[in-house]
Amino acid sequence: GIAVVGSLNHDVRLSVHRLPHSGETITSDALHRSPGGKGANQAAASARLGRAVAMIGAVGDDDAGRDITHRLAREGVGTTGIDVVDDSTGMAVVLWERPESTIIIAPGANAWVTGDRVQAHAEEIRQAGAVLCQLETPLSALGAVADLAAGITLLNPAPSAGVPLDLLRRFDVVVPNRFELAALAGAREAPRSVAEVRAMAESLGHPAVVVTLGADGCLVVQRNQSAAHKSSAAVHVRSVDVRAVDTTGAGDSFCAGLADALLDGVDLADAARWATQVAAATTTRDGALDSLPARAELPSPTHI
Ligand code: ADP
């Protein structure tokens, strides 16, 4: 199965025609509340693909916390790894200026998911065939995951933040978008061309980086260590042609798809092809959790 160590949020999405100026009050034309958080999204996405999933995270003793926990349970996600702590459930306020969002996150309980707390759920992590992590919980959680995991470890370094390279290298696969890649590489600007993405991914010195490229699919950059001189190979996987209405959750479902295929033992490029299918389906519907595809809705995986 898959273990997800990460965030659980209450998302409040306010549709706006434009962003307010400093000190200004504006009126939103639509308010939408939903369960979210990268951790919760990736856990639900993995469950919909048919995997046994254990969620490790934290919520507050409040309605938002109960709501997201129940929702994940209904999705078939194991929730015994969700601790109730003395803080508010995390919240994301999304100013939705279609198609872009501007987001403010209040971590709340998510900030409590430290290395010690992850250690307290060691069994779930040791038993998982794959472990998914992101950056909406403290960095100390990542070290604990790397210490405990026996299966494949994947890090989606989102939202954009620097991660010490020695910590990054403790994960088997790193899955950033172009902006997150720039943050990891310490670059001021995101790479534009595929060649620039490749060069920046190689600069991390990590053996397996999958960079998501939105409507352009993804780039799989792998370092070949068996050769006498280090070489690298890059495979550009094109995205599936769909009518995208809302890309919220696309990156999260991509990560779940990647973990799902890697559990089947396929190579990273084939896993990225499957992840691209899963993510494309997610963009065809509104919402985060609500837009995640079930296995039965997807084309048969080409890798089996
Ligand atoms: P994030 O949302 O995390 O920034 P991306 O925008 O790179 O991530 O999207 C993640 C994945 O979702 C892409 O690699 C791609 O497979 C898929 N995707 C995103 N946008 C589209 C689109 N317009 N059409 C098809 N697939 C898409």
| The ligand 1 atom nearest the CA atom of 280 | 26
What pLDDT, on the 0 to 100 scale, is given for residue 44? 98
For 241-281, what is each residue's pLDDT tens digit? Answer: 999 998 899 999 999 999 999 999 999 999 999 999 999 99
Quote the crossing angle between the two packed helices 194-203 and 178-185, to the nearest 10°.
40
Q: Is the CB of 263 under 6 A from ligand 1?
A: no
Q: What are the b/e assignments for 4-18, b being 16+ CB within 10 Å? A: bbbbbbbbbbbebee
Q: What percent of the chain has pLDDT over 90?
A: 91
Pocket test for ligand 1, best of 254, 276, 277 (most atoms within 8 A of CB): 254
What pLDDT, on the 0 to 100 scale, is given for residue 224? 81
Tell me the pLDDT band of 304, cut-offs 50, 70 and 90.
Answer: low
For 59-95, what is each residue's pLDDT tens digit? Answer: 999 999 999 999 999 999 999 999 999 999 999 999 9
Tell me the pLDDT band of 163, cut-offs 50, 70 and 90.
Answer: very high
With a CB cutoff of 8 Å and minimum separation 6, the contacts of 91 are: 9, 10, 11, 12, 64, 105, 106, 108
What pLDDT, on the 0 to 100 scale, is given for residue 231? 83
Residue 130: is its pLDDT beyond 60?
A: yes
Distance in Å, CA 145 to ligand 1 centroid: 27
Residue 147 annotated to the active site = no
CATH architecture for the domain at 2-297: 3-Layer(aba) Sandwich (3.40)
158 contacts 38 by C-beta, under 8 angstroms? yes
What pLDDT, on the 0 to 100 scale, is given for residue 58? 98
How far apart (Å, rounded) are the C-alpha atoms in residues 239 and 25?
39
Mean pLDDT of the chain: 95
Residue 280, token pair as written in the block? 């494309």
Residue 41: closest CA among 64, 11, 13, 63: 11
What pLDDT, on the 0 to 100 scale, is given for residue 303? 66
For 192-246, what is each residue's pLDDT tens digit? Answer: 999 999 999 999 999 999 999 999 999 999 998 665 667 889 999 999 999 999 8
What pLDDT, on the 0 to 100 scale, is given for residue 250? 96
Q: Taking the domains of the chain in order of start, what are their residue ranges?
A: 2-297
